[in-house]
Amino acid sequence: MSVDAIRMDGKVAIVTGGAGGIGAATARLLTARGARVAIADIAFDRARELADAIDGALAIHLDLEREDSVEAMIADTVKAFGRIDVLHNNAALLGPDIAQNDGHVEHMATALWDRTFAVNVRGTMIGCRAALPHLRATGGNIVNTVSNLALQGHMIQAAYSSSKAAIIQMTRAIAASHGVHGVRCNAVAPGMTMTPALREAFPPALRKVVEDETLRDRLGAPEDIAEAVAFLASDAARNITGQVLVADGGGASHVPGLAGFRAFFSGEHA
C-alpha cells in the first residue's frame, strides 16, 4: 500500500454522528489525511465546536428521523464544498436511556423498535439515496458503521443489533447495484468501543465481561475504528466493496462469553 493511496487530499467526506466518539475521531483523522469534512450531528453545538477546531470543516445539524434533514445534509455539503467523495454513516440511536431499554424481544417496546429502525436503517438509507448521484460523479464510496452484534446472537440490544444487520444487507445491496458506476460501499463492525456514551450506558462490570473476551489487552478506542473507516474510504481499499471489516479486537473470532452476560443479568455480579 502506497502512502499516497491512504491520503484523502482534495476529497470531501461527510461523517454523521461526527460530534463525538468514533465520528469525531474519524473526522479528525480524515482531515489529517487531507480531506475536507462535514460533521453532521443532532448535537449541533458539539459539532460546531469540533468543526471550529478543524481547518475547513463544516458543522451540519442532522436529525436522522427527518427525511428533509438528511437530504439537507447532502445538499449543504455540496453547496459548501462542491462535491462528495465519502459518506460515512456513523450516527445511530444508542444513548444510555435507549441501551437500558433495548433488551430481548419478549419485552421489546414496539415504539423503541420502530424508532431504532427509523433512525439507524431508514435514516441511513435516505442519506445513501441522496448521496449516490454525487458519489457516482466522483467515483466515491460509502462506509457504514455497523456492529459485531449484527453478526452474532446476544441476549441484549435486539433492536440495535437487528438494525445494524439490516445496514449490512443495505451495504451489500448498494455495492452490488452501484459497483458498475464506480461506487464502493463497505461497513466497519466495531466491538465495544470506549466512547463517552458507552461508558455512560454500560457499567464497568459489564464492560469487563467483554474485555475478558477480547484478544487484545484492552477494549477498542474510537481512534482504532477511525483507522478502519479511513482505510476503507481511501484509494488503498479501491478493490474492496460489499465487505464488512470486523474491528472488535478479535472478540468475534472465538466462542463468545454469553455465560458472563447471563450471570451479570441474573444478579451474580455486584
Residues known to be catalytic: 160
For every residue of the chain, which 3-state class applies, written as one string?
A: CCHHHHCCCCCEEEEECCCCHHHHHHHHHHHHCCCEEEEEECCHHHHHHHHHCCCCCEEEECCCCCHHHHHHHHHHHHHHHCCCCEEEECCCCCCHHHHHHCCCHHHCCHHHHHHHHHHHHHHHHHHHHHHHHHHHHHCCEEEEECCHHHHCCCCCCHHHHHHHHHHHHHHHHHHHHHHHHCCEEEEEEECCECCHHHHHHCCHHHHHHHHHHCCCCCCECHHHHHHHHHHHHCHHHCCCCCCEEEECCCHHHCCCCHHHHHHHHCCCCC
